[in-house]
Amino acid sequence: MQAPTRPLMHLSTCLALAAALVSQATQAGEHEHNRRVPLPQIYVQECASCHVAYPAGMLPAASWRRLMSGLDKHFGTNATLDEQDLRFISQWLMTHADTRNTTSPPVPQDRITRTDWFVREHRHIEPTTWRLPSVRSASNCIACHTAADQGSFRERELRMPAGLSASQRSAWDD
């Protein structure tokens, strides 16, 4: 067998490097909201007492800033924190916020369920599914994502919620 010529070796090296860079870019650009960042205990204690302690990467910093500055009217509830906890949680959210597209328009009403990626990922879910007693709303991630309370939303951790009709079940298969 003849040894590869220098141009061929150069080409294969370039292809291997390009594949590695694409792989890295894919991993780096992987859903920021799916990135595993340990949740601070105070964040879990304060926020998960009412809902899943959403990973900070689910919203951009501007949305977290607005949410944290309006805790006295947090989606119809007074979720006010003491100043020290407010500062700590706010800083943590800003540090780990979604940074994928800082030029996109603001998230409507600063709701995770209105982000482009959430809408895209859930586009096949019928609106009636969100109203099932086992689900209650699109923001109740744990109804379908079994590890949402640990900040994981992988497809392999999905389960169909109780009460789905045949047509709703078929949407899960799409």
Q: What is the pLDDT of residues 24-46, one digit of tens each?
A: 333 333 444 445 788 999 999 99
Q: What are phi and psi of 60, to 5 degrees?
A: -75, 160
Write down the pLDDT at residue 5. Answer: 53
Q: pLDDT-based confidence at 4, cuts 50/70/90?
A: low
User: What number is the average pLDDT over the span 110-138?
Assistant: 92
- DSSP 8-state symbol, 156: G
Average pLDDT over residues 13-24: 39
* Distance separating alpha carbons of residues 147 and 52, to the nearest angstrom: 10
Q: What is the pLDDT of residues 49-69, one digit of tens each?
A: 889 999 999 999 999 999 999
Q: Quote the DSSP letter at residue 138.
A: T
Give the containing element (helix H, strand E) for 22.
helix 6-28
pLDDT tops 70 at residue 13: no
> Do 97 and 59 form a contact (C-beta atoms < 8 A)?
yes
Report the alpha-carbon distance of residue 128 to residue 166 in Å, rounded. Answer: 12
pTM: 0.71
**Given this model, what pLDDT does residue 66 score?**
93
The Cα–Cα gap between 33 and 7 comes to 42
* Predicted pLDDT at 8: 46
